[in-house]
């Protein structure tokens, strides 16, 4: 199968490219010009520089491809709303146009559970209302899903939407996993509300295995699928697993949710007032995720794809920290 992966040199993208190549697919990897591609060193992939905001770039990249995996995005709750919309929404619209023009068969979109509000979910499903509208990133993913699943594409392009777990992690994750490891090493990382809320994770090898199946299996066409690891870990479980692999003590300090949320509101206001573009140390969105359970089920993916996450939290944490330890 000839495949195009956008965002091919990113954390999840590079793992997906490696898995597709391992399974015998011919892979073209779209990379943002000027970004490092060392994550794909030694992988038999055709590197293809291009910007998802350029219809011309995407039209050329889609030529000759059968299945497209769309991972390129701005995955931030703090980036400028116009940039998020231009890349996540208009980039998806451009890719659909390129896929139609090139006669591609299927487009698999990497979306996000951020489309759902943190209102308390235990075994949430794909049909849970997409009710988070105030966050530009979440809104961009909802709109991107609508573009890919537009009924007017029926018979011309098969759409598939993937929503990974709340916490994707694994080797190569320089944002969440490496940042968490560094914070745990200092011993100053607090929990919020005791870290008791249940969450859902996606260890990257489990995730890309499921994403690959979404491109291969006929039954995936037209489906929205959640890909999470098995189990019901809490925030404290996740942090504890990382800490054990580092030989560091697990977080012991716990802060109540309400004052932390007030602090996040104040920090955001200051960053906005002084037009600071850097990511704040805390945001309301990230603090909000600690308030209630946020766990979604991959039962539909198991039924439709035969998806089976084989790597558990402890083993995933071990592999991730083995990668991160030399970088600390």
Give me the residue label for tokens 């619209």: 93
The yes-or-no verdict on residue 133 having pLDDT over 90 is no
CB-based burial label for 52 (10 Å; 0-12, 13-18, 19+): buried
pLDDT digits (tens, 9 = 90+) for 152-167: 999 999 999 999 999 9
CB-based burial label for 92 (10 Å; 0-12, 13-18, 19+): buried
Q: Please give the pLDDT value at position 8.
A: 98
Structure tokens of 305? Answer: 């794809």
CB-based burial label for 217 (10 Å; 0-12, 13-18, 19+): middle
* Domain 2-169+201-231+294-322 top-level CATH class: alpha beta
The yes-or-no verdict on residue 188 having pLDDT over 90 is no
- Per-domain residue ranges of the chain: 2-169+201-231+294-322
pLDDT digits (tens, 9 = 90+) for 12-52: 999 999 999 999 999 999 999 999 999 999 999 999 999 99
């Amino acid at each position: 199968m000839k495949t195009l992966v956008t965002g091919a040199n990113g954390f999840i993208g590079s793992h997906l490219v490696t898995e597709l190549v391992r399974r015998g697919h011919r892979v073209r990897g779209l990379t943002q010009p000027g970004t490092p591609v060392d994550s794909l060193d030694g992988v038999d992939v055709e590197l293809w520089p291009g910007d998802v905001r350029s219809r011309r770039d995407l039209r050329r990249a889609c030529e000759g491809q059968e299945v497209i995996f769309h991972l390129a995005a701005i995955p931030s709750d703090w980036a400028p709303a116009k940039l998020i919309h231009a890349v996540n929404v208009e980039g998806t619209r451009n890719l659909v146009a390129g896929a139609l023009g090139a006669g591609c068969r299927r487009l698999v979109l990497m979306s996000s559970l951020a489309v759902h509000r943190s209102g308390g979910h235990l075994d949430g499903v794909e049909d849970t209302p997409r009710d988070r509208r105030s966050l530009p990133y979440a809104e961009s993913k909802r709109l991107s899903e609508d573009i890919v699943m537009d009924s007017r594409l029926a018979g011309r392009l098969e759409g598939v939407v993937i929503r990974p777990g709340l916490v994707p992690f694994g080797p190569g994750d320089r944002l969440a996993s490496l940042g968490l490891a560094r914070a745990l090493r200092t011993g100053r990382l607090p929990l919020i509300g005791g870290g008791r809320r249940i969450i859902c994770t996606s260890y990257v090898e489990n995730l890309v295995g499921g994403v690959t199946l979404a491109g291969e299996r006929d039954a995936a066409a037209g489906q929205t699928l959640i890909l999470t690891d098995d189990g019901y870990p809490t925030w404290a479980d996740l942090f504890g697993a990382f800490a054990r692999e580092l030989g560091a003590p697990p977080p012991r300090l716990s802060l109540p949710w309400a004052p932390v949320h007030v602090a996040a509101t104040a920090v955001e206001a200051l960053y906005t007032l002084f037009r600071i573009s850097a990511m704040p140390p805390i945001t309301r969105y990230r603090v909000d995720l600690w308030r209630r359970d946020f766990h979604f089920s991959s039962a539909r993916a198991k039924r439709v794809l035969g998806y089976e996450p084989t790597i558990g939290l402890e083993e995933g944490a071990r592999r991730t920290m083995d990668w991160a330890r030399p970088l600390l």
